[in-house]
Amino acid sequence: MLLGAMAPGPDFVIVTRNAMLSGRRAGVSSAAGIGLGVFVWAALSGFGVAGLLAASARAFTIVKVAGAIYLMFLGIRALLAARRGGYEAPDGSAAPPVGVSTGFRQGLLSNLLNPKAAVFFLALMPQFLPAAPAFTDTLELSTLTAVVTAGWFVALALGIATLRHFFTRTRVRRALDAAMGTVLVALGLRIALASH
């Protein structure tokens, strides 16, 4: 599970961007949202519900398109901020950073709207459950999976937030927004164009 969490993808980009530009609390809240998303996918897989999503081309496509749109939306916002240097409010004060609730929501949605997460857990979870798993077996494995994933992303957020003073310089922030925005749009396009 730890290796799966460490693989670069939309969750990695969201936590990295929020920790770099808005600090430790935004990064940790994004990690918590991802952890909840992982718990949901793991539990759904353990109970067999994610298999229905993977088996239904229509449901898979709906989740895939919603996830792609959401990632591209976040990417376009970052690209627009980089283009206009939108780091100050009209009154000249600093633009508000990503808050705890926004970071949590971004982490949760980036994970829940990623159909590859459903496929990943569908392929992985049954291997670690007994042939006829009890409710507690699935709950225990889902919780462990969420804790391991959230732990990795919290460590990532804390590590990146220590360098925040460097990342919030206007020139660096514009470059980061351009890079992260491009990556998010590319990930959204990749998800949108991926076959079932």
Report pLDDT digits (tens) over 101-121: 999 999 999 899 887 777 777
pLDDT of residue 93: 43
Whether 30 contacts 15, CB under 8 Å: yes
The domain total for the chain is 1
By 3-state DSSP, what share of the chain in percent is helix, strand and coil, each rounded to 5? 80, 0, 20
Q: Is the pLDDT of residue 23 over 80?
A: yes
Does 72 map to a domain? yes
Is 120 a member of any domain? yes
Structure token digits, residue 102: 């926004």
Please check whether residue 154 lies inside any domain of the structure: yes
Q: How far is CA 159 from CA 2, 41, 71, 148, in A?
A: 17, 27, 24, 17
- Our measurement of the distance from residue 182's CA atom to the centroid of its chain's CA atoms, rounded to an integer in Å, reads 16
Q: Is residue 1 part of a domain?
A: no
Q: If you average pLDDT over residues 81-96, what whole number do you get?
A: 59
What integer pLDDT is reported at residue 55 of this predicted model? 66
Task: Write out pLDDT tens, residues 154-166.
Answer: 999 999 999 888 8
**Cα–Cα–Cα angle for 96, 103, 50, rounded to 5 degrees:** 155
4 found inside a domain: no
Tell me the C-alpha to C-alpha distance, in Å, between residue 61 and each of 34, 77, 83: 21, 24, 32
- Looking at residue 89, its pLDDT comes to 46
Q: Is residue 167 part of a domain?
A: yes
Domain extent for 113: 9-86+98-193
90 is written with which tokens?
Answer: 């009209």
Number of CB atoms found within 10 A of residue 77's CB: 14
92 within some domain: no
- In sequence order, the β-bridge partners of residue 88 are 94
**139 pLDDT higher than 60:** yes
Q: Is residue 169 part of a domain?
A: yes
Short-list 73, 79, 61, 71, CA closest to 193: 61
Q: What is the mean pLDDT of residues 11-31?
A: 92
Structure-token pair, residue 1: 């599970």
CA dihedral sign of residues 180, 18, 106, 136: positive
For residue 57, count other CB atoms closer than 10 A to its CB.
9
d(CA 32, CA 156): 12
